[in-house]
Amino acid sequence: MTKEALCAAAIAARQHAYAPYSSCLVGAALLAADGSVYTGCNVENASYGATLCAERTAFAKAISEGNRQFTMLAVAGSEGNEINGGFPPCGICRQVIAEFCEPDFTVLVVTAPDTYKEYTLSELLPAAFRLS
């Protein structure tokens, strides 16, 4: 799958965002080594801390279906409808990505409907906390 196609899957996943409190619509698409794609959206809650980010929704879907080998993640988020600027993963999501992915793992942040910025996990989370 191309990077552009993974970004398109993340954009499509935003359709399902449940965000009555923030109006931030976030979608994620996680590409597994076997070619499977797991999508996720943010799922908010009246008890704000119970909110799930799109990235963690996608990881939970993959892990719970037995897939733990990942090659790339795309994230598309915005305040309101228009994607302009991009939503890099929050700190908690970066830590969750680090649980399953190597430092050179690729994260694509969609910055407009047809553009993205590319990061490695180590750029987003240097000196990640890991247990041996």
**Residues 59-98 close enough to bind ligand THU by CB under 6 A:** 77, 87, 89-90, 93
**Cα distance between residue 2 and residue 129, in whole Å:** 30
Phi and psi at 111, nearest 5°, equal -105, -15
8 A C-beta contact, residue 118 and residue 72: no
Q: Does 121 bind ligand THU (CB under 6 A)?
A: no
**Closest distance between ligand THU and the C-beta of residue 54, in Å?**
4
Smallest CA-to-CA distance from 103 within 118, 117, 123 is with: 123
8 A C-beta contact, residue 56 and residue 93: yes
Q: Which residue from 7, 10, 44, 107 is in contact with ligand THU, where contact means CB under 6 A? A: 44
Max Cα distance, the chain (Å): 42
Q: Does 42 bind ligand THU (CB under 6 A)?
A: yes
* Closer to ligand THU by Cβ: residue 63 or 90: 90
Indicate which residues carry an active-site annotation: 55
Q: Which residues bind ligand THU (CB under 6 A)?
A: 19, 22, 24, 26, 42, 44, 51, 53-55, 77, 87, 89-90, 93
